[in-house]
Chain A
Amino acid sequence: MKFYRSHILLGMSETSIEAGAKKIELALKSELSKRNLQDEIDVLETGPLGFFAKGVCLKVYPENVLYENVTVEDIPELVEEHFLKGRPVKRLLATTTRVEAYDFNYKERNVLENSGIIDPEDIEEYIGVGGYEAWEKALLKMKPEEIIAEVKESGLRGRGGAGFPTGLKWSFTAPIDSPEKHLVINADEGEPGTFKDRLIMEGDPHKLLEGMMIACRAFGANKGFIYIRGEYKLCIERLKHAINQCRSYGILGQDIFGSGFNLDFDIKVGAGAYVCGEETALIESLEGNRGNPRFKPPFPGVKGLWQTPTVVNNVETIANVPTIINKGAEWYKSLGVNGATGTKVYTLMGDVAMPGLTEVPMGITLRDIINKYGGGMLRGKKFKGALVGGAAGVILSDKLLDVKMDYESLKEYTAVLGSGAIMVMGEEVDMVEMLWSILRFFRHESCGKCFPCRLGTQQLYNIICKIRDGEGKEEDLESMILLSDAMVKSSFCALGQSPYMPIKSSILNFRNDFLKRIK
C-alpha cells in the first residue's frame, strides 16, 4: 500500500459538480504530477464534506484545513503554497466550520416522530402530543371489525422480516371463539445490525403500548406480552415504567374508560438466541421451554401461546398502528409506492460517513439513503455493495443503488427489505470474508432440531473456510448454492432457509472476489 503524507478530499454533490468539481479534480491531479507530488498527496472524491460552504470545497488531511469556492485558476497557487511550502492559502479558507445541517426528517416520520423530542419516561408528555387519542377512538368509537378493516386498507405489512399483511393476520384470529387470546410482540431484534426496535422502545415506549392496545381490541385479546432481548436493559426499564404508568392512569386494567374491556401487558426477557425471533420458537421460549420452532400448521393465529389463538407482531409494525387509526388509511397509503405503504425505519452502518438510523417513506433508493442520511461514503470510499436485511438478507451490487426500496421492486431483483438493516461496504471489502462471517453466524445459531439446517450450516461453513484458506475449487461455489437451495426446500423453519439469499447474491454479484481466492 502506498503511504500518502496528505489527503485532499473533494466534496462531490450535484451542486459542486455543477460548480466544476470534476474539472478541479483533473487540474489538481495534473498540477500535483507536474510538481512530482502524486505519490505523496492523494486526491479523493467524497460526498458532502459536512460543513456549510460555497462552490467547490476541499478538505485537507491531516491538517483538517477547509477551502471553499476553489476554481481551476486557484490550483497552481494552492499546490505551490500548501503542498510544496506547507502554507495554507488564506484567501481560500472556508469562512465557517459550521456543519451542514443534518436532516432528521421529522416531518415525514411516523413511528419515530416522538423519539428524540419527548421524555420517554413521562406519560403526560406522550399524552400532550396526542398520545392515547387513537386508543380512545379505537376503544369507544370503532367496532373491532372497523379497526381491522382500517389496518387492512392501510396496506401495513409486517416489519419483522417476512412482510405479511398485518390486517389480514389479525382477521384470521379475530373470528375464533376462544376464552383467551394473546398478542405477543416480537422485540427479540436478533437480526445482525438491526436496532430500530430498540430506538422505538426506549425513545417512545407508549407508542408501542398504544399500538398493542388497539391490536388487542381489534382481534379480542385481553393479555399482551412483549418478548424482548435481555441486552435491551434501557428498553425493559422504560417499558416497565410505561406499563405501570398506564395502569395508574387507568389506560390499562379493568373496564377501561367504562368500555367493559379489560387489558393488561407483561414483559418477558429473552436469553439471546437468534432462532427465538422465529415466532413459534419465541412462543416456546415464552412458555418456558427450549426455544425450538414448532410445526406449522397449526399457525400461532389458531394455536399459539398455551394453545390459545395468538398474534405475533414486530415492534415497528405495531408502532405504526396508532397513526393509522388517528390519521386514517388514506393518509397512510399516500406515503410510499408500489403497494408498499407508510414509512420504513432503516439502520445504516458500515462504510458511511454518519452511521445511524432513519425513518423515510417506502420506496426511497439506496443511493438517497446513503447520501442524504448517511452523509455519503466514509472518507470518499467507492461503493462496492450493501448487505440489505441483515444476515438473512441480500448483498446488492452498485447496479441496484437506484432501485426503489419497497417489497415489490426489490422482489424483481430477488432481494428483500427484511428488517431494514443496511450494511454499506466500500471497495476494499472482500465478499469472501463477508460471506464467511454470515455463514459462521448461521452455523452458530442453528437450533439443531432438524438435520438439513444442523448439518447444512456446518457444511456451508466448512466450504467457505476452505475457499477462504485458498484451498477451494470453482465447483465449490455451485455446491454452496445447491446445498443452500436444498436447505430452503427441506428445513423445518426459516432459519435454515436463510443462508441461500446471501450465498446466491454474493456469488452472483461478486464472483471475482471468490475466484481470486481460488486461483
Chain B
Amino acid sequence: MKTLADLRKIREKAQNDMKLRNSETRVKVVVGMGTSGIAMGAREVMKAFLDEIANRQLHDVLVTQTGEKGLSSMEPVVDVIIDGVNSVTYGNMTAEKVKRVVAEHIVNGNPVNDFIISTDK
C-alpha cells in the first residue's frame, strides 16, 4: 500500500531518472512504435539503429520507443534528440536510411536534410 508521500517520491525519482539519463546520454533516438509504424517496418528500423550503434561502439546513444505522432503516411517516424534539446524528426525511415542518419547526424552532427519531416517537436 502506497501513501501520498510514496507517490511524491516516485514522481521525484522518475523526474530525476529522466534528467540523469539526459545528462549521461548525449543522443536519444526515439522510434515510433505504434501499429502503423510497426506495420511499415519500425521494428527493423529500431534493430538497424541498435546494430549500427553497436558496430560503431557508440556508448552515449540511447534507443527507446514511443507511440505514434499521427502522421501515419510518413511512418516509420524517428526522433533524434541531441543534448536533450535539438530534436529532429525523420520520416519514411528504412534500415538503409538509418546508416546515413547514424553516420551523418549522430556521429558528425549534420542532420540528414533529405529525410527530415519536422524539427523541434
Interfacial residues of chain B within 4-52, with CB under 8 A of chain A in the complex = 4, 6-7, 10-11, 13-15, 17-18, 30, 32, 34-35, 38
Determine how close the nearest CB of chain A comes to the CB of B71; give it in whole angstroms.
4
Decide if A116 touches B66 in the complex (CB within 8 Å): yes
The answer to the question of B2 belonging to the interface, with a C-beta cut-off of 8 Å to chain A, is yes
* Chain A contacts for B35, CB-based, 8 A: 198, 202, 232, 234
Decide if A106 touches B113 in the complex (CB within 8 Å): no
* Chain A contacts for B10, CB-based, 8 A: 124, 127, 249
The answer to the question of B96 belonging to the interface, with a C-beta cut-off of 8 Å to chain A, is no
Chain B interface: which of A18-26, A92-100, A361-369?
A92-100
Interface string of A108-135 (1 = CB under 8 A from B): 0000101111111100110110001100
* Chain A contacts for B3, CB-based, 8 A: 257-258
Determine how close the nearest CB of chain A comes to the CB of B72; give it in whole angstroms.
4
The answer to the question of B56 belonging to the interface, with a C-beta cut-off of 8 Å to chain A, is no
Decide if A97 touches B67 in the complex (CB within 8 Å): no
Determine how close the nearest CB of chain B comes to the CB of A159; give it in whole angstroms.
16
* Chain B contacts for A356, CB-based, 8 A: 70-74
* Chain B contacts for A127, CB-based, 8 A: 10-11, 14
Decide if B121 touches A199 in the complex (CB within 8 Å): no
Interfacial residues of chain A within 120-175, with CB under 8 A of chain B in the complex = 120-121, 124-125, 127-128, 132-133, 136, 140
Known: A104-B121, A128-B17, A202-B35. A136 touches B4 (CB 8 A): yes
Decide if B67 touches A120 in the complex (CB within 8 Å): yes
A82 to B78, alpha carbons, bound, how many Å? Answer: 37
Contact of A117 among B66, B116, B118 (CB under 8 A): B66
Determine how close the nearest CB of chain A comes to the CB of B85; give it in whole angstroms.
14
* Chain A contacts for B30, CB-based, 8 A: 117
* Chain A contacts for B34, CB-based, 8 A: 115, 198-199, 202-203, 234
Interfacial residues of chain B within 64-121, with CB under 8 A of chain A in the complex = 64-74, 77, 89, 91, 113-114, 116-119, 121
Residue of B nearest to A355 (CB): B73
* Chain A contacts for B73, CB-based, 8 A: 354-356
Determine how close the nearest CB of chain A comes to the CB of B30; give it in whole angstroms.
8
Contact of A257 among B2, B32, B74 (CB under 8 A): B2
13 A-B Cβ contacts within 8 A? A99-B91, A101-B117, A104-B71, A115-B69, A117-B30, A117-B66, A124-B17, A202-B35, A203-B67, A234-B38, A256-B2, A257-B2, A357-B71
Q: Which 10 pairs of residues, A with B, have the shortest CB-CB distance?
A: A203-B67, A250-B2, A116-B69, A98-B113, A357-B70, A128-B14, A124-B14, A115-B67, A356-B72, A356-B71
B binding-site residues for A, Cβ under 8 Å: 1-4, 6-7, 10-11, 13-15, 17-18, 30, 32, 34-35, 38, 64-74, 77, 89, 91, 113-114, 116-119, 121
A binding-site residues for B, Cβ under 8 Å: 96-99, 101-104, 106, 112, 114-121, 124-125, 127-128, 132-133, 136, 140, 198-199, 202-204, 232, 234, 249-251, 253-258, 354-359
